[in-house]
Structure 1
């Protein structure tokens, strides 16, 4: 059974879409998929990447595309009242349900739905309290500081692995990025011979033609 770590940030619509889609795409192969919350903004910062929200036309396209994909997949996706928003409270709440940096699928699903279904304010205090109540049986007592440390460690780990965005799927030292990377991940897990012909490593050896 392959062990897959999925780095997520609840601020990303594509993380929600991939979270919903992954079980169907990976059906029929032996794997365990585990989720680690990270801070997407910190991954962007390491490469001076403004992210889609930092480029106005790309921001508009991203929102249209993600909303359509939610419709096409059948999982639904309504942009929250404000986006981007500060994802720190959600990530830290998620990791209050963890003792090792991983969160279970119930926790991830609950928070993703809080953000991406209904078109409401993800950080509204009343809604955050309701979310906390839903997760109350999983929240570890006096875990606020530990959750902060876990989030920092998760983000540093993802960065060290070469993650530049979310969702990123880490398996066998290989990193697969994005919703549209899921079919490639499925091929790898299924033993596709392409991964044995040197093409994966060749990507790192191609010289750049930019000055």
Structure 2
């Protein structure tokens, strides 16, 4: 059985869609999932990039594409009242629900957090009353705003950056990173032992040298 790390931020509609599709996409594979909440904005900052919703034309396309993907997959995906929003309260809540000092939040916790954002008929993800109700429902073992929980989120985000994560969702298995919901078929092929991955093609595909470097 393979251990799969799922790096996500509830701010990402692609992560929400991938979360819902994961069991179906990996049907027949032998795996377990460690859900790792990370702060996407910190990853973008470390890489000197903007998020999709921070570029106006890309923002419009992102919302249209995720609406289409949800329609195509038969999933509910309601845009929250404001997007992007500050995901820190939700990320900290997720880590506060982790099982023990070295554990990660389970699938039910992650599901409820994603649904709080993306299946709430356009409600505000950071509405104080809704956040309190979510935390009451999840009953985290630790205080979400405690320093140990905040540090776990910082550490998880920094570890993700160090491992090469540049976006969410990212799936890591055996040190290989699979980025985005559209990588799920590729990930399934790897878990099922597709010989392409042992042929050297994975390594060779990343071997091209950049010919032009853009100046900032």
Quote the residue 1:132 is aligned against: 135
The alpha carbon displacement at 1:174 in A equals 0.3
Quote the residue 1:146 is aligned against: 148
Q: Distance in 2 between matches of 1:142 and 1:28?
A: 38
Q: Distance in 1 between matches of 2:58 and 2:82?
A: 16
Quote the residue 1:207 is aligned against: 209
Q: How does 1:1-211 map to 2 (within 5 A)?
A: 1-98=1-98, 99=100, 100=102, 102-117=104-119, 118-136=121-139, 139-142=140-143, 144-211=146-213
Check conservation: 1:25, 1:186, Cα contact below 8 A.
Answer: yes
Check conservation: 2:171, 2:178, Cα contact below 8 A.
Answer: yes
Q: Distance in 2 between matches of 1:180 and 1:110?
A: 23
Query: For 1:21-78, what per-residue CA distance to the aligned partner results, in whole angstroms no more than 9, with x for missing partners?
Result: 0100100010001101000001111221101112111100101111221122122101
Query: For 1:136-168, what per-residue CA distance to the aligned partner results, in whole angstroms no more than 9, with x for missing partners?
Result: 1xx114462221011011101110110000111
Check conservation: 1:115, 1:122, Cα contact below 8 A.
Answer: yes
For structure 1, the 5+ residue unaligned runs are: none
Q: Distance in 2 between matches of 1:82 and 1:142?
A: 26
Check conservation: 1:101, 1:150, Cα contact below 8 A.
Answer: no
Give me the TM-score of the superposition, normalised by structure 2.
Answer: 0.94
Q: Distance in 1 between matches of 2:71 and 2:127?
A: 25
Say what the alpha-carbon RMSD is for the aligned residues: 1.1
Q: Distance in 2 between matches of 1:92 and 1:49?
A: 23
Check conservation: 1:39, 1:151, Cα contact below 8 A.
Answer: yes
Check conservation: 1:4, 1:170, Cα contact below 8 A.
Answer: yes
Q: Distance in 2 between matches of 1:198 and 1:208?
A: 20
Check conservation: 2:14, 2:180, Cα contact below 8 A.
Answer: yes
Query: For 1:105-146, what per-residue CA distance to the aligned partner results, in whole angstroms no more than 9, with x for missing partners?
Result: 00000000000012110000011111111101xx11446222
Q: Distance in 2 between matches of 1:71 and 1:205?
A: 37
Check conservation: 2:142, 2:149, Cα contact below 8 A.
Answer: no
Q: Distance in 2 between matches of 1:10 and 1:124?
A: 15
Q: Distance in 2 between matches of 1:29 and 1:142?
A: 36
SS in 2 for 1:44: helix
SS in 2 for 1:210: coil
Give me the TM-score of the superposition, normalised by structure 1.
Answer: 0.96
SS in 2 for 1:76: coil
For structure 2, the 5+ residue unaligned runs are: none
